[in-house]
Amino acid sequence: MYIPFAVFAVIVLIFIFNVFHIMREYERAVVFTLGRFWKVKGPGLIIIVPIIQQYVKVELRTVVMDIPPQDVISRDNVSVRVNAVVYFRVIDPQKAVIQIEDYYMAVNQLAQTTLRSVLGQHELDEMLAERTKLNSDIQQILDEHSDAWGIKISMVEIKQIDLNENMVRAIAQQAEAERGRRAKVIHADGELQASHKLLEAANVLAQQPQALQLRYLQTLSNIGEEKNTTIVFPIPIEILTALAKK
């Protein structure tokens, strides 16, 4: 009995589809022979023997993973909600398939716990002012733990730190108080510098009485320019002292 040509063609096509596979440039095939790891194939055309061999496809492109908001209590007992983003990629397809069941889920869970752990060791001011350092610390910890899975954590970025309304108002009041303190310090520093200059001017005038007379004349000139109806003439102390002696 002859097999119809159409059935034969279908069998051949199924065989071809199960044997020949094409891996893109960013894809690799982790091939198992009778359940044992054989080799990593790709990119390009690869041949898989049906029934005897199976493969798992792994992508090598960088994955952008969004970490959901996490409730964190800082070292100074301030409750905040923090979310972040993690950039990672597979560098060893064999480990990513054999050493961990789901590397995507594993990285996600590890990132959440590490985020809470690292930020909980810092005060709120450090969280707001030292994001670059915190990003680096989290990235280093994640990279060390995921190395056994064939994963490379390339970057971690804290996206947002949310505070409750009471804490926002408290920070605003603190900032306003700090600005007031700086203004007072600057004003006091200006008064100190002015007093030094006045002391220097007094010393100069004391050494040169003629300079004091010139200052009197300049003051009279300024008063005359303002068109005042009343003019007060300053009298030198020396004249009053001389009159008192008489």
Q: How confident is the model at residue 216 (pLDDT cuts 50, 70, 90)?
A: low
185-194 long-range contacts, CB within 8 A, separation 24+: none
pLDDT bracket for residue 1 (50, 70, 90): very low
Look up residue 225 and give its two tokens. Answer: 């320019």
Print burial letters for 107-136: b (CB count within 10 Å at least 16), e (below 16): beebbbebbeebbeebebebbeeeeeebbe
Q: Higher-confidence residue: 137 or 199?
A: 137
In whole angstroms, what is the distance from residue 124 CA to residue 167 CA?
Answer: 10
Does 221 or 50 have the greater pLDDT score?
Answer: 50
Confidence band of 54 (pLDDT split at 50, 70, 90): very high
pTM of the model: 0.67
Alpha carbon distances (Å) from 227 to 147, 220, 221, 232, 234: 87, 11, 11, 13, 18
Q: Is it the case that residue 2 has pLDDT exceeding 60?
A: no
Distance CA 235, CA 212 (A): 11
- The residue among 87, 97, 105 whose CA lies nearest residue 58 is 97
Winning range, highest mean pLDDT, from 14-23, 217-226, 237-246? 14-23
Percent of the chain having pLDDT more than 70? 73
Which residue bears the tokens 């303002």?
A: 226
Averaging pLDDT over each range in 37-41, 180-184, 205-209, 217-221, which range is the top one?
37-41
Peptide bond into 234 cis (omega under 30): no
Fold of 63-163: Tetrahydropterin Synthase; Chain A (3.30.479)
The residue written with tokens 């064939």 in the block is 150
Q: Where are the domains of the chain?
A: 5-59, 63-163, 169-207, 209-246
Give me the mean pLDDT over the 197-221 stretch: 66
Q: What one-letter code names the amino acid at 134?
A: L
pLDDT digits (tens, 9 = 90+) for 68-106: 999 998 888 888 999 999 999 999 999 999 999 999 999
Task: Give percent of the chain with pLDDT exceeding 90.
Answer: 47
CA distances to 56, 67, 162 from 150, in Å: 15, 20, 34
For 63, other C-beta atoms within 10 Å of its C-beta total 16
* Residue whose entry in the numeric block shows the structure tokens 């001011």: 125
